[in-house]
Amino acid sequence: MNGHEHASQRFRTIEGLTEIVAGAGSGAEPLYPLRADGRLAFGNDRDLAALRLELQPGRARFAFVSVDGRTLDSDELRCKS
């Protein structure tokens, strides 16, 4: 996970790793326009959003939620315990 980019992004899982970029929550700076990238499974450069993350043994659930409450993207990732 990282959050420096001013957009919401989820990259396709590669070799068991999924990168999530949660940087669209500030509003103090404009969102950065996303470039076409085949590695992205999800990208949003239009909506301010927060990342909701729920961790449990063996899995992580996440959702990008816009400031007006819409779920922009969500998924569940499994991991080895």
Domain boundaries, the chain: 8-78
Q: Which of 20, 65, 62, 16 lies closest to 40 in space, CA to CA?
A: 20
Query: Tens-of-pLDDT digits for all 81 residues of the chain?
Result: 887 788 999 999 999 899 999 988 777 678 889 999 999 999 999 999 999 999 999 999 999 999 999 999 999 999 876
Cβ-based burial of 22 (10 A; exposed 0-12, middle 13-18, buried ≥19)? buried
Query: For 56-65, which contacts have Cβ atoms below 8 Å and span 24 or more sequence positions?
Result: 57/81, 62/20, 64/8, 64/10, 64/22, 64/24
Residue 19 has φ and ψ, to the nearest 5°, of: -95, 130
User: Which class for 20: exposed (0-12), middle (13-18), buried (19 or more C-beta within 10 A)?
Assistant: buried
Is pTM beyond 0.85? Reply is yes
